[in-house]
Amino acid sequence: MVKKSLCGLTADEILDLIEPLGYNRAHAVSISNSIYKKAVSDISYIEKIPIRLKEELLSIALSGIYLPLASEVSADKSVKYLFRTENGKEFETVYIPDNKRNTVCVSTQSGCRMGCLFCITARYGFRGNLTAGEIVNQILAIPQAAKVTHVVFMGMGEPMDNLENVLKACSIITAEWGLSISSRNVTVSTVGIMPGVDQFLQKTDCNLTLSLYSPFSEERKKMIPMENKYPVQKIVDMMKNFPVKKKRRLSLAYVMVKDLNDTDWHLEGLKSILKGSKIRINLLHYHPDWNDQNYSSSAERMQFFKHNLIVSGISASIRKSRGTDISAACGLLAIR
């Protein structure tokens, strides 16, 4: 018999598993608390349930928590972890400490099939989707699990290409019986699969970030193939018109490449598509591979963009790069 992985199940699904054995929701919540709040990897050590239930669980389930294979530490103290699933899919996770804010950047797929030209993960190819349990395990299985305050879905893969598992993972991360991390501390990034964005906005209160690259459709098509199917302007309009609850953030991520998308023309384009909205824009450094002829925009140019956007009434910030020396920064994750 194939055993169920408890990590990745909701409290209701755990109840469905144990109710036929004569147990109730209180037992299910105790199990979910042990898995998600205490990262108990051995069912024998689950607290507040009868010994008989532990014995029965051992015959039908696994904790589903497994450790990374390897890790690499950056000079800035970020840590990149390598995971491998039972069926051989490999993916990377990054822990980013920053004063009182400790973020885990999780992957949703092994590789990616979006084909964005500025992202090195795309060159790794697509090896498969991760389950909700495999996504959540990236938080639970690292040594710093108890310190985590924020989660970003910005690792390997396109979250909207694995939407069912991403929505379930978000539910587990934010639930009271789960990790109990506030939805305003969870951010999911996408290149813009429109039906997925629509469902994500409707079904969760977590933050959303859209990877833009260029405010101009024809230019964006050359770098982000999904633009051909789902024009970014339509997605931005959807984000503009969506009734956002207090403290939920919708934002754009703008990777700045010297002389390619950091001209005054691009700045005016950004102002145009964001005019009159509450959408925030995060300006990101470009991280080239060793044989890449392109470079990130200068710090001065990025400050110029930020200043002009803010003066125009658009909320803007420059995101600090972390883990570049271990290929852990945005767009660099690829199994080496």
CATH number for position 23? 1.10.150.530
Q: What pLDDT score does 331 carry?
A: 56
**pLDDT over 70 (residue 290):** no
Known catalytic residues are 92, 330
**pLDDT-based confidence at residue 123 (cuts at 50, 70, 90):** confident
Domain identity same for 240 and 260: yes
Domain identity same for 58 and 111: no
pLDDT tens track for 188-209: 999 999 999 999 999 999 999 9
Domain identity same for 53 and 36: yes
Q: What pLDDT score does 333 carry?
A: 56
**pLDDT-based confidence at residue 121 (cuts at 50, 70, 90):** confident
The reply to whether 90 falls in a domain is yes
Given 36, 62, 88, which residue is the final one in a domain?
62
Domain identity same for 40 and 80: no
**pLDDT over 60 (residue 332):** no
Domain identity same for 161 and 283: yes
Domain identity same for 48 and 149: no
**pLDDT over 70 (residue 50):** yes
Q: Highest mean pLDDT: which of 90-99, 119-128, 131-140? A: 131-140
The reply to whether 45 falls in a domain is yes
- A 10 A CB-CB count for 10 gives 17
The reply to whether 332 falls in a domain is no
The reply to whether 331 falls in a domain is no
Domain identity same for 51 and 173: no
What average pLDDT does this structure show over 270-298? 89
- As a whole number of angstroms, the distance between CA 12 and CA 19 comes to 10
Instruction: Provide the CA 80 distance to its chain's centre, in angstroms.
Output: 14
In this structure, the strands spanning 4-5 and 150-153 are: unpaired
Domain identity same for 56 and 80: no
**pLDDT over 90 (residue 254):** yes
What's the mean per-residue pLDDT of the chain? Answer: 93
**pLDDT over 70 (residue 335):** no
Domain that holds residue 42: 4-62
**Which two tokens mark 139?**
């938080």
Please state the domain count of the chain. Answer: 2
- As a whole number of angstroms, the distance between CA 321 and CA 121 comes to 17
The more confident residue out of 265 and 245 is 265
Task: For 174-215, give the secondary structure using H, E and C.
Answer: HCCCCCCCCHHHEEEEECCCHHHHHHHHHHCCCEEEEECCCC
